[in-house]
Structure 1
Amino acid sequence: MGKVTRHQGALLSAGVLLGTGLGGFVDGILLHQLLQWHSMLSSRLPPTDLVSMKINMFWDGLFHAFTWVMTVLGVALLWRAGQRPEVPWSTRTFVGALAIGWGAFNVVEGLIDHQFLGVHHVHPGEGQLAWDVAFLVFGALLVGAGRALVRAGREDSVPRGAAPPGRS
Structure 2
Amino acid sequence: MPRRFLQRYMPRPDTLKRQRSLRFMAPLIADPGLWLLTRRTVANAFSVGLFCAMLPIPFQMVVAALGARLTRCNLALSVGLVWITNPLTMPLIYYGNYRVGTWLMGSPVREAPSRISTRWIAEQMHDIVPPLFLGSLVVAIVLAVVANVAIRLIWRWHISQNWKRRRQKRRQRRARLESQFDDCE
What is the TM-score of this pair, normalised by structure 1? 0.36
Higher relative contact order (CA 8 A, sep 6+): 1
What is the TM-score of this pair, normalised by structure 2? 0.33
Which structure has the bigger radius of gyration?
2
